[in-house]
Amino acid sequence: MFNEQQSGKMWSGRFREPLDAEFEAWQRSIVFDWRLLPQEVAASKAHASALVATNILTKDEGAELRAALDAIAAEHASEAGQALVRNHPSAEDIHHFVELSLVERIGSLGLKLHTGRSRNEQIATDLRLYVRKQIGLVVEALAAWASALVEQAHAAGDSVMPSYTHLQRAEPVLVAHSLLAYVEMILRDAARLNDCAARLNECPLGSGAVAGATLALDRAIAARELGFTAPTANSIDATGDRDFILEYLHALTFVGLHLSRFAEEITLFATAEFNFVTLPEAFSTGSSAMPQKKNPDLTELIRAKVGRIHGAAQAVTLQLKGLPLAYNKDMQETQEPAFSVSFVPQMLSLVARFTAALQFNRERMNQAAQSGYLNAMAAATYLVHKGVPFRTAHEKIGNAVRFAMEKGVELGGLTLDELRSFGPEFAEDFFPAIALAATLDCHDVIGGTACERVRQALAAAPQRIAALTTFTQEAADASA
């Protein structure tokens, strides 16, 4: 006999026994996939268009379905509406919720929408739309952070700071040059994300459960409406693919790595021991015990929160490994890791405003760049220009540095006679060759810290940043 208890399920016909109540609650995904309502509505409207073109639906029925879907999306757009979705008493997932809502609004016509499709292709489509939208948000936020770094680089002018290797002072560089290093990281991050967006931008609708739709649907109709470049080429792959989630998460791990490196560096530079930057009070907190404290909470939280991104990528890797073709219920578990990193655009927005508010202690940085023999490389280069082999020049300057350390002066504090004790090549022109400006400008190569090279890099940066967001905005809007 027909089991009334199962009648509300999308798959109830074959079953006679009721689900274990605890298992039923445990396996429901509506508690997290409610976030996909905008994508589910968009994909359902696109499927309705394909059904109209195949004469499964009349134009009037298609219009009625589309209007009802829009109404469902509008009704649940607010936080209160979203709560109604995730707390729905009987919907298994977001697909089931939309179907139940359609039937409530327009009766049996709501049941016709599932003609020629499977939840396997629906979730594959919804998730692609969701990830594509998130990529757009992240890239936009990356561009804002890059712009804030460029503005700070402009404001720094010709200010100088030490560069570091092994956390030891290495050579003087322009502050702008150091800031632009993070811009390069951001450009790579955005390129990876845009590559991911381009690869995922194919439409699974029409793939059916695994073998393809049983109706002669024009798959290009849904693909165009949703802003995809084309339908997916293989139904088995389309319904069983979650590569795009894993690729998205791995691309975000690079964003997290670079955010964390920046956060660590600013945290160090804000200490009294460095005193290179002053933390903006709007992004800092105090101590409940020590009245003098100003703590770098934003940068510390960034370092911690990027662990979530790495954890999400590892979780999906383990969830997908070893799965046979095609769809498996295991794939439901890939959704929560994808949703768990939705904080990244906000985090980037905060770090962009934080970056814009940083104050660099230029005098302190300039002093640090002129002590500790940071011009030793320039000094060795001076000898190279005098015809001394570099290895020999390196040894001569190393000996001069040791002598200067024992004397308690910088290289420029040695007399010409003292310098000539290390080699006859030293002359009066040695001293201007190791002055700060010359030490910077001897790095006159593409990507170097010479003043003119950095000015060129700064001039080129805005256009390079603007190019980050050229990924089809129409496609991103389609998944909104």
Q: Which residues are catalytic?
A: 166, 287
Measured CA to CA, the distance from residue 33 to residue 41 in angstroms comes to 13
Phi and psi at residue 162, in whole multiples of 5°?
-75, 145
288: DSSP letter: S
DSSP 360: E
Phi, psi of 2 (to 5 degrees): -65, 130
Determine the Cα–Cα distance for residues 439 and 463; give it in Å rounded to an integer. Answer: 29
d(CA 203, CA 391): 60
Dihedral angle of Cα 439, 445, 449, 450, to the nearest 10 degrees: 60
Antiparallel, parallel or unpaired: β 277-278 and 230-231? unpaired
The two beta strands, 230-231 and 202-203, are parallel
* Dihedral sign for Cα atoms in the order 128, 131, 137, 139: negative
Determine the Cα–Cα distance for residues 118 and 236; give it in Å rounded to an integer: 13
Closest listed residue to residue 142, CA positions, set 458, 468, 457: 468
Strand partners, 203: 231
| The CA-based dihedral angle spanning residues 450, 452, 455, 459, taken in that order and rounded to the nearest 10 degrees | -130
Query: Which of 216, 214, 234 is CA-nearest to residue 124?
Result: 234
Cβ neighbours around 309 below 10 Å, total: 26
Distances (CA, A) of 255 to 187, 188, 213: 10, 9, 38
**Tokens of residue 270, six digits:** 């804000």
Burial category of 193 from C-beta neighbours within 10 Å (exposed 0-12, middle 13-18, buried 19 and up): buried
Q: In the block, which residue shows the tokens 């560096």?
A: 265
Specify whether the CB–CB gap between 362 and 156 falls below 8 A. Answer: yes
